[in-house]
Structure formats: structure tokens, C-alpha cells
Chains A and B, each alone.
Chain A
Amino acid sequence: MTRDAVFDLEAKSLLKRFGAHTAVDTLSFGVKRGSFFSILGPSGCGKTTLLRMIAGFIQPDGGDIEIGGRSMRGVAPNRRPVNMVFQQLALFPMMSVGENVAYGLARRGVGRAEREAKAQAMLERVGLPGAAGKRTDELSGGQRQRVAIARSLVLEPTLLLLDEPLGALDLKLRERMKIELKQLQAAFGTTFVYITHDQSEALVLSDQVAVMNAGRFEQVGSPQELYYAPATPFVAGFVGANNRIEGRVSALHGALADVTTPEGWVVRAQIQTGSDGRRPGVGDAATAFVRPEVALLGRTVADLGLPATAPGDSAARGDAAPMHEGVVESLLFDGANSAVLLRETRSRAEFRVALPQTGRYADLKVDERVLFTFAPERAVCFVTGGGAPVGGATGSGHG
């Protein structure tokens, strides 16, 4: 079981600049052997640069990459124990499926009979028996994907890099390939490093996810940690849907803080320490995040299961969750992901609440007045912008 502690990939103070722009900013991290590690970030966050540095197509300006415990400094891409599944898959159209899979083996000098047998066996393992003789354009999108993975895995790399390979597929197929990828990774036990801008892909597939922004990792953790305990406002805003409420801290209640918007709407949330180590104190500009599915919707106070008090009057009810009031702005029907977009009465701020699966509030009408509440422990708040002044918080004195 000591294998678990071994890093297949370790980056040490990795740095890459393009002119004045720092694409990868002194990044250090480790990826455990056999794990599925995702790097999640918006386009332009540096994730592709990072992946290409691991593959060896870009030379870092500083720091080092160790793969399987071996420094990759000065090692060419064709000499690294790493293979890559490209965004557009990059199957060789001038070769058959079997030749594609056998390509890497041929480069290693494996004899024709042996590499053909190995390619056949690998194609069977990825569920494509008998595809060896086909042309690559005879395959469906999902099958091409599997060939691209087979072509890399047949070389038994220490590390498989995947560059948003699901991006080009349509939604239905993407959902299926997500499951397939996870199963393939489990079956082969190869360490996968996967980059994507799609948070759902990262959450579903990964053991560990690194959320990347502006060349740095905002947070590295399990999908659950990222979702329920985001370490930075960026992670809270980027991973999953979240309602964002900006204001100033008006009161502290142990681990909870009341964030009051300029209009006087009070939102109570769990205090989170930002990546800069700051915790919001009374008077600080703060941002609260509340997930749509954390909030509970009701037409009456009784619906919410709360003691009967006026909306927003949190002080009078002691420990009970604060109650809020809003007007239905629009209904967002999306099957199991249906939600309702409210406008909070006092602040006129938009607030999204997930609709219960029971179909109980399917009859909501636009402009209808509703109440909502959420457990403050399941919402989070941070110091706004890590000390930088933020426009939304400037008018708080008028509240």
C-alpha cells in the first residue's frame, strides 16, 4: 500500500512566461500513482500550457517536472514516459485503426507480428474488437476517442494526459464517454491527468481536482471538497452553480457571519479563510455564496418549517435559519435540474433556488411572492477580492 504515497507526477515551482504574461506561475503539486487528476479552469488560465509542459512540447522557464520520480529536464517529448490524448484526438488518417494503435510500438522497434497482436488485444480491452482493419473515419466519435486512448495506453505510459478530449462530442455522447473514461481509468490503473473547462467533467471523473486560475491553483481537493468547502471565491463561483451576494459583514455569530448588502439584505453564511489567510471581520467587504440546491422554497412560513417571524428578521429568531422573501422572476425548467430565478425583495438581487424533485412548486407563476431559506452552515463567505476594493461593496454605508 506504499504505492499510494508515490507521486507519478510532481511539479516543482513550475514557471512559464509568454512575454509579460505569466501562463504558469510557480506551480508545485503532486499527482498520486493511479489517480484521476483533473485540472479545471477557464480558457486562458494556463492549463493547456501546463499540460504541454508535462508532455514536453513547451519548455518551462523555471522549476522542474518529475515523472515517475525522474526529472524531465531536457527530455524530449518522444522520450518521456507520458502519452497524450489530444483535443481533436489526432488519429492518423493515413493509417488504419490497428496501425494507429501499433504506431508507438513500431517506434519502439517492436516486431510487426507482436505489435499487431498487442494492438488487437488493446482494441479488445477498450471494446473495439475487430476494428483494427477499419479506417479512422469509419468510426463514430466515441469509438475514435477509445482508439486515441488505446493508442496511448498500449505503450503503458506512467502518465496519460488528456486535453479536453470530450470537448468536440455532442452532449449525449459526452455523458456516456465520461462514464467510459472513468471505467477505463479504473480498469487500467494508469494515472490520468485530465484538463477541462467543464466542471461537471472534472467532478464526475476525478479523484482530485485542481482549480486553476491565472496560472495558479486556487484549490486542490476531492470534488466534494471543492463543491462543499471552496477555498476561494473563485472556486465557489466556478465550481457548480452558486448565488453570489456582495456586502459587508455586519455581525459575527461564532463561525457564521451576517453579510449585509448595501440595500440592507442580510445573508448569514459560514466564514471561510481565503487563500491569502484573511477571514472576514465586522465591517469588512465580504462575498457570500449560496448554492441553489441548498435553499428551500415555500409559499408560507410553515412550508419552510420555521417559527413564524417576519422575513429577514434574523436577530429575533435566535438559532433558526434566516428567512428571505422574493418575487419569481422566471422559471428555469430543466427536468431534474429545474430552478426558479427570484428577485430578493429588499435588494432586488437575483437569487436562484433549485426546485424540489417532487414537482411541488411546478405551478409557480412569474411575479408570485415566495419565501426561501437556507442553512447558513451550508453557505460560505469570503473577504471580497482578497483586499482589493470591489465596486459592489462601496455603497454599504447607505444600508
Chain B
Amino acid sequence: MAEPGGKTTQRLLLGLLLAPALVWLIGIILLPHLDLALLSFRERSGPGEFRWSLAQYRTFFAEPLYWDVFVRTAVISVIATALTLLIAFPIAWTIAKLTRGRLSALLFAVCLIPFWVSETVRTLGWMILLRETGVLPAVLVSLGITDAPIEMLYRDATILVGLVYTSLLFMVVPLYSSLESLDDSLIEAAYDLGGDGWTVLRTVVIPHAAPGITAGCIVVFMLTLGNYLTASLLGGKNSLWFTEQIYTQFITRFNWEQGAAFGFLLLALSSLMVWLGLRLSGQKFADVMSRT
């Protein structure tokens, strides 16, 4: 008799422990998404009247602007993710393998410091640096590199710089933890058996760090794809970022149905890209998630 009772208690305890997570999952993520999903399949047929339709999705494919912005957002996000990986890898390597103790902690702090101020302030900082009357164009003029101050804002390259800057930490952390766990003697063994720097990187370091690389790329790609502030502030009104389109539909046009459809398309896109990334790198989702 005691045992079933014990089991019930255990189950109750488990339920209580899971409750906050479930409330969060169902109340804040699942329900709004369901509502948005329903919304995205509706069409206004008259004042205060709605009917089911695929019109919102049809609009997306029929209007080249939406499609172009969608592809452009995806491509820039992929480039930003790749750039972040290229920059973060040497940083993570330095922290994990070349430095110890205090210096290693200091380098981590340096990566973290930009996150002590809000994203808005950080992005405005970039604007002060890059705008026509800003610091960097003035420096270029005084160095004689350009004749007149050039406008560095509102360019794709500027958006990329901002996105990479914002994402760096989220790449460094998973890379660091996967490189940290790499036994130094494996690297030495690979050298000892005749490998050079590049082959050791290709055959030992990258395969070992693959789950960390994938995890970092997924996080950074999702953050970049869903980024609103950096793209709209550094890219200006015509940055043509897909989250801006969603914002416009919801807030400016008050077309919630269209916005919801765009939101789901973005979700589908990011899911597709993550799936592709996992497929191409031969990783398993559970492995990768345990590394993040």
C-alpha cells in the first residue's frame, strides 16, 4: 500500500516542479502561437467579418517585395552567422586553449562587457561612430583617405557589422565549451602522427567541436533572423528586413492577419535552415542542444 502512495507523491512532486515550465510553455509560447496561426488563416470579408482563407500566404508569394525581403533576410543572416563563426572561433580558441586562469576570465569579460548596456544603447553607439557627421568618417577624412565624410550607415555591410557584433558572445560561449573539452593530447597526437595545422584543425578540432559550432550557428542564426533593432537602426527605413515587414503589418498597417502569416513564414524559414544545417553537418538535435 505504501508504494503506490509513494508513487503518487512522486508524480505530484514532478508535476509541481514542471508546473512553471509548463505554464511558460503553454501560456506564453503555445497559446499565442496558436492564436496567431488561426489569425494567419483568416481574411477580412467585411467590417468586423472574417472567413477562413489562404489569402495572407498568397499575398506573400504574389508580391515580389515580400519574397525578396524574405530571401534577403535569410541570406544576410547566413552571411552574418558565417562571419560570426569565423571571428568567434579564434577568440574561443584563445580563451580555451592559449590562456589560463585570470587572463582567460578577463577575455571572457571583454566579450561580455558590451552586453552590460542595452541593445538600443549599443546600436546607437554604432550610429554615432558611423553616421556622416560621426567619428569614423571624420577620422577617414583627417587621415586623407576620403575627401569628404561619407555616410557609413544604411548599408548592408553596416547591418552585417552590427549583427556580428551583437551575436559574437552567443557564438563564443558554445565554441568555448566544446573546445575546452578537447583533450590537448589529441592535438599533440595528431601533430605527432604527421598532421600540420590545417589537417589537425580539419580532422580533430572541428569534428570534436562540431556540436558546439552547430549550436552556436543555430543560436546566432535565429537571433539574427529575428533581429529588429540592429537592422532597422543601422539599415534605416529601407533596410528591408523581414521582421520590419512583420512590425509594419502589425503596427503601421494594423493588418494582424498578414503579420501573423509573415511570422509563421519566418518560423518555417528558421526551422528549415536549422534542419538543413543539422543535416549538412551530420549532427543530432539533442546532442547539439546539450552543448548550448
* Contact, CB under 8 Å: B191 / A92: no
How far in angstroms is the closest Cβ of chain B from A163?
9
Residues of A with C-beta under 8 A to B199: 107
Contact with A along B176-200 (1 / 0, CB 8 A): 0000000101101111111110010
Query: Nearest chain-B residue to A57 (Cβ)?
Result: B188
* Contact, CB under 8 Å: B185 / A151: no
Partner of B204, one of A55, A79, A88, A92: A92
Partner of B189, one of A79, A84, A108: A84
Do A78 and B207 form a contact, CB below 8 Å, given A57-B188, A90-B185?
Answer: no
* Contact, CB under 8 Å: A92 / B189: yes
Q: Is A77 part of the binding interface, using a Cβ–Cβ cutoff of 8 Å?
A: yes
Top 8 A-B pairs ranked by shortest CB distance? A107-B194, A104-B193, A94-B207, A90-B189, A90-B185, A86-B185, A78-B191, A77-B191
* Contact, CB under 8 Å: A92 / B190: yes
25 pairs, CB–CB < 8 Å, chain A vs chain B: A57-B191, A77-B191, A78-B191, A78-B192, A78-B196, A82-B192, A83-B192, A84-B192, A86-B189, A88-B185, A90-B183, A90-B186, A90-B189, A92-B186, A92-B203, A94-B204, A103-B190, A103-B203, A104-B193, A107-B193, A107-B194, A107-B195, A107-B199, A152-B192, A155-B194
* Contact, CB under 8 Å: B193 / A103: yes
Q: Is B122 part of the binding interface, using a Cβ–Cβ cutoff of 8 Å?
A: no
For the complex, what is the distance from the CA of A108 to the CA of B195, rounded to whole Å? 9
Do A87 and B194 form a contact, CB below 8 Å, given A94-B207, A94-B208?
Answer: no
Residues of A with C-beta under 8 A to B189: 84, 86, 90, 92
Residues on B facing A (Cβ under 8 Å): 183, 185-186, 188-196, 199, 203-204, 207-208
- Interface residues of chain B: helix, strand, loop or mixed (majority): helix
For the complex, what is the distance from the CA of A87 to the CA of B208, rounded to whole Å? 20
For the complex, what is the distance from the CA of A148 to the CA of B97, rounded to whole Å? 24
Question: Would you list which residues of chain A between 134 and 173 have a CB under 8 Å from chain B?
Answer: 151-152, 155
How far in angstroms is the closest Cβ of chain A from B214?
14
Residues of A with C-beta under 8 A to B193: 78, 83, 103-104, 107, 151-152, 155
Query: Nearest chain-A residue to B188 (Cβ)?
Result: A57
Residues of B with C-beta under 8 A to A95: 203
How far in angstroms is the closest Cβ of chain A from B212?
13
Residues of A with C-beta under 8 A to B207: 94
Do A108 and B194 form a contact, CB below 8 Å, given A92-B204, A94-B204, A94-B207?
Answer: yes
How far in angstroms is the closest Cβ of chain A from B90?
21
Residues of A with C-beta under 8 A to B188: 55, 57, 77, 84, 86, 90
> Which of A55, A83, A90 counts the most B-chain CB atoms under 10 A from its CB?
A90
Residues of B with C-beta under 8 A to A78: 191-196
How far in angstroms is the closest Cβ of chain A from B189?
4
Residues of B with C-beta under 8 A to A79: 194
For the complex, what is the distance from the CA of A106 to the CA of B188, rounded to whole Å? 17
How far in angstroms is the closest Cβ of chain B from A352?
39
> Which of B193, B196, B208 counts the most A-chain CB atoms under 10 A from its CB?
B193
Contact with B along A47-89 (1 / 0, CB 8 A): 0000000010100000000000000000011110011101110
Residues of A with C-beta under 8 A to B186: 90, 92
Query: Nearest chain-A residue to B184 (Cβ)?
Result: A90
For the complex, what is the distance from the CA of A155 to the CA of B190, rounded to whole Å? 13
> Which of B189, B195, B207 counts the most A-chain CB atoms under 10 A from its CB?
B189
* Contact, CB under 8 Å: B194 / A104: yes
For the complex, what is the distance from the CA of A86 to the CA of B207, rounded to whole Å? 20
* Contact, CB under 8 Å: A55 / B194: no
For the complex, what is the distance from the CA of A157 to the CA of B204, rounded to whole Å? 22
Residues of B with C-beta under 8 A to A107: 193-196, 199
How far in angstroms is the closest Cβ of chain A from B136?
42
Residues of B with C-beta under 8 A to A76: 191
* Contact, CB under 8 Å: A55 / B192: yes
For the complex, what is the distance from the CA of A78 to the CA of B192, rounded to whole Å? 5
